[in-house]
């Protein structure tokens, strides 16, 4: 079987999920996979060895300003004409199937050429009746037409009775990691100066801050500033006591699997992150940070963490399902995987109330 795997490159969560799948595909001699990423310049990707010789395209991406989606900047950043040209030039005829994680070039190329396309993404879950923030007409268009696929397989923290997979989790390190009182901070869309000003007001706590504006690591009072990097980030995540971040899906999932408390600031104007907050609050798994606030952060620091959620290693099962071409029978696959998820008692109680 030959597969083209398209990945949205603007978010590290999409790439993290693709890494897990790449490792699973690598164990199979009967499957060949080519990876294509879009939405980020080729030299802006890091720790990509697992993907071999991957391709990149300009694609489409969203622009932000001071922690909010900027539709004006997004309009000027993207070229629909250039994107359509990339779609028309991509030949998918040599592939048996296209796997897609919210990536528009491969999805639209598959649609134009009549090739089956399986959307395995968090965004696909919003095509099902899960808890969601109020959609604008732009949100509806994006969720349905940004990366259209013949089969949609969502990924979420709970299935809500739909064909949805549990989160993909991969962590480096070991169970003997010493847990410190450090707080991991990942707010890439916020001003670094504003983050520093806010957290400097809490000198009794140590914050490890990963940010795209940090080029070289340095220490500043109670702040440890770090450039982006997969392994250093994972090690900090395992050893910290809590996470302050935007409300993206993959990092929140990894934190929950480790039993880390979460304080989340949704990216303003992004429907997906606002919806994530709704689900996590319903399950009692996060606190909301509506804006950078010393008072809210100080209160949250006193909270205790929830016990870890155990998610299955589902990548090999999913690869088997893809190879068997049972693509229109996703219900049994999802049911099998959710039976292996172990929720803490407090979360299981809330889930029962939602049913």
CA nearest neighbour of 346 among 253, 282, 268, 272: 282
pLDDT at residue 71 above 80?
Answer: no
pLDDT of residue 68: 61
C-beta separation of 303 from 288 below 8 A: no
Beta bridge partners of 287: 263
pLDDT of residue 142: 87
- Cα-Cα-Cα-Cα torsion 122, 123, 129, 132, nearest 10 degrees, comes to 100
Given the structure tokens 């080729």, which residue do they identify? 42
DSSP 8-state class, residue 139: H
Q: Which domains does the chain have, with CATH numbers?
A: 2-169+312-354 (3.40.50.2000), 183-301 (3.40.50.2000)
pLDDT at residue 173 above 70?
Answer: no
- Cα-Cα-Cα-Cα torsion 256, 38, 74, 195, nearest 10 degrees, comes to 40
pLDDT of residue 79: 76
The pair phi, psi for residue 239, each rounded to 5°, is -95, -10
Mean pLDDT of 334-340: 95
Which residue did the predictor score with more confidence, 269 or 7?
7
pLDDT of residue 65: 61
C-beta separation of 280 from 157 below 8 A: yes
Which residues contact residue 211 at a Cβ distance below 8 angstroms, ignoring those fewer than 6 apart?
186, 187, 188, 192, 195, 225, 226, 227, 228
- What is the number of residues in the chain? 355
What are the DSSP calls for 124-136, one per residue? GGGGSS---PPPP
Rounded Cα distance, 72 and 51, in Å: 34
Q: How confident is the model at residue 212 (pLDDT cuts 50, 70, 90)?
A: very high
Mean pLDDT score of the chain? 92
Mean pLDDT of 29-57: 93
Q: pLDDT by residue (tens digit) across 290-329?
A: 999 999 999 999 999 889 999 988 999 999 999 999 898 9
């Amino acid at each position: 079987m030959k597969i083209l795997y398209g990945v949205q490159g603007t978010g590290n969560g999409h790439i993290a999920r693709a890494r897990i799948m790449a490792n699973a595909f690598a164990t199979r001699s009967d499957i060949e996979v080519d990876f294509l990423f879009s939405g980020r310049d080729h030299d802006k990707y890091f720790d990509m060895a697992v993907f071999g010789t991957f391709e990149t395209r300009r694609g489409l991406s969203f622009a932000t300003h001071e922690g909010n989606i900027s539709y004006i900047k997004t309009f000027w950043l993207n070229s629909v004409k250039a994107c359509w040209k990339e779609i028309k030039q991509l030949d998918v005829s040599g592939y048996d199937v296209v796997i897609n994680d919210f990536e528009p070039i491969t999805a639209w190329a598959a649609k134009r050429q009549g090739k089956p396309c399986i959307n395995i993404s968090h965004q696909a879950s919003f095509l099902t009746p899960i808890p969601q923030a109020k959609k604008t007409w732009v949100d509806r268009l994006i969720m349905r037409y940004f990366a259209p696929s013949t089969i949609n397989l969502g990924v979420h923290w709970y299935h809500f009775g739909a064909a949805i997979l549990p989160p993909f989790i991969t962590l480096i390190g070991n169970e003997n990691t010493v847990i410190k009182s450090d707080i991991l901070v990942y707010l890439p869309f916020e001003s670094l100066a504003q983050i520093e000003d806010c957290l400097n007001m809490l000198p009794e706590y140590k914050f490890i801050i990963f940010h795209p504006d940090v080029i070289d690591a340095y220490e500043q009072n109670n702040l440890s500033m770090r450039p982006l990097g997969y392994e250093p980030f994972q090690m900090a995540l395992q050893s910290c006591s809590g996470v302050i971040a935007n409300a993206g899906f993959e990092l929140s999932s990894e934190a929950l699997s480790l039993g880390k408390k979460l304080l989340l600031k949704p990216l303003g104007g992004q429907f997906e992150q606002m919806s994530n907050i709704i689900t996590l609050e319903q399950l009692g798994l996060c606190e909301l940070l509506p804006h950078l606030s010393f008072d809210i952060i100080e209160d949250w620091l006193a909270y205790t963490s929830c016990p870890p959620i155990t998610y299955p290693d589902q990548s090999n099962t999913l690869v088997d399902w893809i190879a068997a071409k049972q693509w229109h029978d996703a219900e049994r696959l999802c049911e099998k995987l959710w039976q292996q998820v172990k929720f803490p008692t407090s979360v299981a109680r809330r889930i029962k109330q939602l049913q």
